[in-house]
Structure 1
Amino acid sequence: MRQGPRGNPAALRIRAAGGLLLVVHLALVAWITLRPLDVPWVAAPNFHPFAGIKADLALGPTQATRRIGEGLGLLAPLGVLLPMAGGRIAVSPLASLLRTVTAGALLSLGIELLQTGVPGQVVDVDSMLLNTLGVALAHIALVPAFRARTRRRKETARRAAALRREESPLTPTPTIPRVGIAP
């Protein structure tokens, strides 16, 4: 359920914060991935899935952990920021996951395609796979718990408001709709 312009002010603040953080994160990702690098040589592009990951694993556990962690972590915040900016609380977990992962995969594909024209940057299909997996893992780890907590808080507030209405000694005066003058 999306909060409209007259919806819950807390939900609107969460959506606004999500949108702002999303823009900041995407600007940082663009700066990291699309700035030209001044390097003496450039590795060949990797179009074979898992070839780069195998090469990283061959470098040893420290280097492999760092390189794979960078791939997983680059777009992982999108797994939380995209649903946060969307502002939906009551939504199917599977639909939310698919929507978020698809957006992350498309963004990663766009970055890889833009890197073809940037000096010093190399296209790597494994980075696209790792970026998408990072988005999925962040979404699975954080979003369902956050939505459940938000729904519980909303339900608690609704119950408290109902109790206040029941305990009020004065009942609201019923209103009668105005009737227009007949011709």
Structure 2
Amino acid sequence: MRTLSDKKLNQFVNDFLESGEIINENWMPNKVIGIKNAGDIIGRKLFKSFKQKDLNKEIKYESIDFRRSTTSFKENFLRNGLSKLPTFMLTPLRLIENKFYLVKDKIFNSSMELPEKKGAGIKILLVDDAVDTGNTLIRSIFFLNEKYENPDIKIFCITVTSNSPKIKPDYNLFNENIIFPWSIDFKKKK
């Protein structure tokens, strides 16, 4: 399992943009949309890099919010309890949680707002931190197809954590479980 500090994450995002893989003369996003919470963090990093590198001066940023039904439980109860557990116990719990999401299908509550009307020709870079089942991405794409006329959507994620997600991103940096700077067990790995 890889651990990424915020500095390392910024470096991966910048290196990826500089590689030119995500942009070419045929495709340049005019909107970056981050999936809250973690995809929003990474999406903002990508958006900031697009602006700093002058790749697209007209690019806009939005976020959408999909929550697994267990997210508020995790945020309120587990954050306090898990932070006290030793590191050797946290990795197996993370893997169990991942397997749970691969089996469970009805796990989302959503609250989304995109204040834009339908428009043709929009190129969207949809950003999330990790793909486990692919359910979040599928729901996000469905929502964006309802919101915009024929959007051209490409997906960027830092990692894919399972061998057979329902949808795969166009771009990902890793294929493994990662401890991110916002992960409950990140501080224990310093």
Greater share of residues in helix:
1
Does the TM-score normalized on the shorter chain lie above 0.5? no
TM-score by length of 2: 0.26
TM-score by length of 1: 0.27
Greater share of residues in strand:
2
